[in-house]
Chains A and B, each alone.
Chain A
Amino acid sequence: MPPLSKTLRFREPSVIPGFGLTFGLTVTWLSVIVLIPLAAMILYASRLGFDQFIAILTAQRTLNALKLSFGIAFAAAIFNVIFGLIVAWALTRYEFPGRRIADAIVDIPFALPTAVAGIALATLYSPQGWIGQFLAPLGIQVTFTPLGILVALIFVGIPFVVRTVQPVLKDLDPELELAAASLGASRWQVIRKVIAPTLLPAILTGFALAFARAVGEYGSVIFIAGNLPNISEIAPLLIVIRLEEFRYADATAIAVIMLFVAFIMLLIINRLQRWTEARS
């Protein structure tokens, strides 16, 4: 039996040198850049006291901003699931002219800076804009309303569902579908009973990723939203406004709630991704 000190070592033995150095550097750097700043924010919030914390969060303007951010992020993620599925399906299952280009531009919202997307969308959907001029006669106003926020959040969320569903769809064994069809299943039954259950974890992952991104989104929203308090003011913007008013406590309380949600979402996404991997 090896001595106790050998069996209780932190990492499993390996011939590769440098564990202490690289592990130490990783943890130190992670702490300096990410963990200590976040801990400082939580410490700052904890000094507020419970009553003040609750008072800030239940103020009408804060509640409205949080409701707006979460509600519209949810709606945008639903929208992205529906259209993301259709896009992923068309890109993997059908051959059509321009398929490669269509596949490439799905990533544009990842790569395009949010401020650029923000001013482009705001200009397009303004009542005089290319798209807005057709909506205005119908009585639909997009800019400076929650609808504008929805448009911006749909834009930033497009790639998530497509890129999580696509690989699973490609991996799907066509023989399963053939087998189901040869046993007499209709196409609709095959989709419901064979394809849908396999795609479900990927769809949920895509939904969660799009939702998490949309909740915190700032740059693409503020130009089109008009930022009217209680109507089209999202939570990240309220944080910025409170900071500019030097009401750090208010800003921090809202930020802590958003950080908490981000962390929960991250855990859910990790779980979902493991489920996706197990399924495929």
Chain B
Amino acid sequence: MTFIEATTNRQAGFGGAEENSGPARRSDFAARAPRGAKANTETLPVRILLVLIALGFLTLFIVIPLVAVFLQAFSKGWTAYFSALTDPDAISAIRLTIIVAACSVAVNLFFGLIAAWTITKYRFPGKTLLITLIDLPFSISPVVSGLVFVLLFGLQGFFGHWLQDNDIKILFAFPAILLATIFVTFPFVARELIPLMQEQGTTEEEAALSLGASGLTTFLKVTLPNIKWGLLYGILLCNARAMGEFGAVSVVSGHIRGETNTMPLHIEILYNEYQLTAAFAVASLLALLAIVTLVLKAALERKLERKR
């Protein structure tokens, strides 16, 4: 069952940060060490001080803003909350967000799998460059990610006139919103899978192939079961980012109410119109999505830990 161990080691952490559950046991030892060896840890007042600073920092910068979202959302009661969410523009924004996220997750799932397979199952020159290029959307400003599509499809852009002559609408419409979202979420699935599949190597696939399985069967029956949790994790992250993307979508959407507004853009409009309660009501849905994503992540990690 080596692959499960490998999976656990690679599960934790967003965006490439990994936690090793193996050495965690050793750090338990370190935490308990003060009882035996005084020199191996800080004095009690220092320990308490450091914990208080850490908790204070997390409370000030993360807990309070998160709590504020929900309190503001319910500040005028349930009725105001639900009327903000059932407003036709809000519903249309929620629907567009879900459709865009579903499409980009599906597309990135497919190509993320293929990219991870290419990178981890074969040896070829230029692999590092390929990984770097796949990572590129991570470090590009979301605004720049949107701008590139304006330059391609806008009226002053490369295909602008051709698109206008042929009456094809891409910018300030659904296609550009989808493209920008796929762009910013491009690395998520591949990034989660590459370290996982690298650790598993190719021996199991080679064994299956030498026993006569076809390439596709090998992938479906050997590779896929090995990576299913990593895959699920990648999907979770990809979805959270797709639903919450603001900068890139804001540049290409055109902000047409009831048509090209996603949830984050709808929040911006409501906020700028001083409809604070409504803005926070819609925001609370996205905050809830973030919390659910993290809870699922923790559950996934615990499940894998117990399997060990």
Which residues of A line the B interface, CB within 8 A? 10-12, 14-19, 22-23, 25-27, 29-30, 33-35, 37-38, 40-41, 44, 83, 86-87, 89-96, 98, 102, 104-117, 119-124, 130-131, 151, 154-155, 158-160, 163-164, 166-167, 169-174, 177-178, 181-182, 185, 187, 190, 209, 212-213, 215-219, 223, 235-237, 239-240, 243, 246, 248, 251-252, 255, 258-259, 262-263, 265-267, 269-270, 273
Beta-carbon nearest neighbor of B29 in chain A: A174
Closest 8 pairs between A and B when the two form their complex, measured CB to CB = A113-B244, A216-B141, A163-B17, A181-B39, A219-B246, A11-B124, A111-B290, A37-B148
B 103-156 contacts with A by CB, 8 A: 111, 114-115, 117-119, 121-125, 128, 130, 132-144, 147-152, 154, 156
Residues in B whose Cβ lies below 8 Å from that of A38 = 136, 148
Do A115 and B264 touch (CB < 8 A)?
yes
Query: If A120-B68, A174-B40 touch, does A255 touch B143 (CB 8 Å cutoff)?
Result: yes
Q: In the complex the two chains form, is B245's CB within 8 Å of A94's CB?
A: no
Beta-carbon contact of B293 and A173 below 8 Å: no
Asked if B143 and A218 make an inter-chain contact with CB atoms under 8 angstroms apart, the answer reads yes
Is B186 interfacial (CB-CB < 8 Å)? yes
Please give, as numbers and ranges, the residues of chain B lying within 8 Å of A187 by CB-CB distance: 39, 41-42
- Is B19 a contact partner of A166 (Cβ separation < 8 A)? yes
Contact in complex: A218, B246 (CB < 8 Å): yes
Q: Residues of B contacting A216 with CB < 8 Å? A: 139-144
Contacting pair B14 A178 (CB below 8 A): no
Complex-state Cα separation, A266 to B137, whole angstroms: 10
Question: Are A98 and B148 in touch, CB under 8 angstroms?
Answer: no
Residue of A nearest to B126 (CB): A10
Please provide the chain B residues from 32 to 50 with a CB less than 8 Å away from any CB of chain A in the complex.
Answer: 33, 37, 39-42, 47, 50
Q: How far is the CB of A3 from chain B (nearest CB, A)?
A: 20
Do B245 and A113 touch across chains, with their CB atoms under 8 A apart?
yes
B113 CB to closest chain A CB (Å) equals: 9
Report whether B111 and A26 are in contact in the complex, using a CB–CB cutoff of 8 Å. Answer: yes
Complex CA gap A124/B60 in Å reads 10
The residues of B that contact A44 with a CB separation of less than 8 Å are 151, 158
CB B5 to nearest CB in A, in angstroms, measures 16
Within 8 A of A (CB), among B171-220: 179, 182-183, 186, 202, 205-206, 209-210, 215, 218
Q: List 19 A-B contacts (CB under 8 A).
A: A15-B210, A34-B133, A40-B148, A44-B158, A90-B55, A94-B31, A94-B50, A102-B54, A105-B62, A105-B66, A110-B14, A111-B14, A112-B287, A113-B283, A115-B244, A170-B19, A171-B20, A218-B250, A262-B139
* Interface core residue of A119, A121, A252 (most chain B CB under 10 Å): A119
Q: Kindly state the separation between the CA atoms of A106 and B293 in the bound complex, as whole angstroms.
A: 13
**In the assembly, what is the distance between CA of A170 and CA of B13, in Å?**
14
| Chain B residue, CB-CB nearest to A202 | B17
CA–CA, A243 and B119, complex, Å: 37
Contact with A along B62-91 (1 / 0, CB 8 A): 111110110010000000000000000000
> Among the listed B24, B57, B157, B298, which residue makes an inter-chain contact with A86, where contact means beta carbons less than 8 Å apart?
B57
Q: Collect the chain B residues with CB atoms within 8 Å of residue A117's CB.
A: 65
Bound complex: CA of A113 vs CA of B279, how far in Å?
A: 13
Residue on B with the closest CB to A157?
B61
Contact B58 A106 (CB under 8 A): yes
A80 to chain B, nearest CB (A): 10
Query: Contact between B123 and A14 (Cβ–Cβ < 8 Å)?
Result: yes
Min Cβ gap B60→A in Å is: 8
Nearest B residue to A44 via CB reads B151
CA distance A108 to B294 in the complex (A): 8
Interchain nearest-CB distance for A118 vs B (Å): 8
